[in-house]
Amino acid sequence: MRWVWIRHGETDSNREHRYLGHSDVPLNIDGKRQASELAERLSRQIERPDALYASDLLRCMETAQPLADVWDVPIISVPALRELSFGDWELLTYDELMQADCERATRWYDDPFHCCPPNGESLQALGHRVDGWLCKLMDRQQREPNETTVLVAHGGVIRWFQAAWLAKDPRQYWQVDGLKHGEALFAEWDGQRWHRQRLGS
């Protein structure tokens, strides 16, 4: 069983270091270039996958489209793969957030697993959402152990997989080496545990 995780290409909000979350924004010019270059590279490294999943947010769907084109596979949109919701803090920069809601933001930074932005999610909630969907995917694929699946998602979702599934310690969420925009991570299940391999930058 092989999963290829891809972080979506860059958006203007990413470049401005804004908390993007569930806000639905398109890729910028560099993000579209990243998606196109990634599709060309992966088409040489990976045979046609058995499935291509993507977060239903536009930046992931736009990143997935060149992959769907080169492999001739449909994109299956998955709301469960959305980024952590920052609620009322979405589209703020760090400085704007600290000016607007310093006390609550400080509590969240100190304990993001249990504290959450107003009307947003904690890391624990993100993990529950992502784990629930991934466990169902893994259960289905146990019957087809040679399947290759591509998942286009967000930095926070992929960090969760790296910490909770690869390192088996969700508390390593901020310690793992997260993916850059338009970067891929290969993970393989050997029947007992997941192993990882970076596939270019």
Is 48 annotated in some ligand binding site? no
Overall size of the chain counted in residues = 201
Q: Which of 151, 125, 132 is nearest to 55 (CA)?
A: 151
Is 129 annotated in some ligand binding site? no
Is 9 annotated in some ligand binding site? yes
The token pair that represents 118 in the structure block: 């107003």
What are the residues facing 76 on neighbouring strands? Answer: 53
What distance in Å separates the CA atoms of residue 154 and residue 69, rounded to the nearest whole number? 21
The token pair that represents 49 in the structure block: 């996958």
Is 14 annotated in some ligand binding site? yes
What distance in Å separates the CA atoms of residue 50 and residue 148, rounded to the nearest whole number? 6
**Pairing of the two strands 51-54 and 75-77:** parallel
Annotated catalytic residue: which of 83, 90, 121, 183?
83
Is 11 annotated in some ligand binding site? yes
* 8 is an active site residue: yes
Check if the beta carbon of residue 63 is closer than 8 Å to that of residue 98: no
Annotated catalytic residue: which of 8, 22, 154, 181?
8
Is 10 annotated in some ligand binding site? yes
* 114 is an active site residue: no
Compute how many other C-beta atoms are within 10 angstroms of the C-beta atom of residue 201: 10
What distance in Å separates the CA atoms of residue 108 and residue 197, rounded to the nearest whole number? 32
Catalytically annotated residues: 8, 83
Residues annotated in a binding site for substrate: 7-14, 59
Residues annotated in a binding site: 7-14, 59
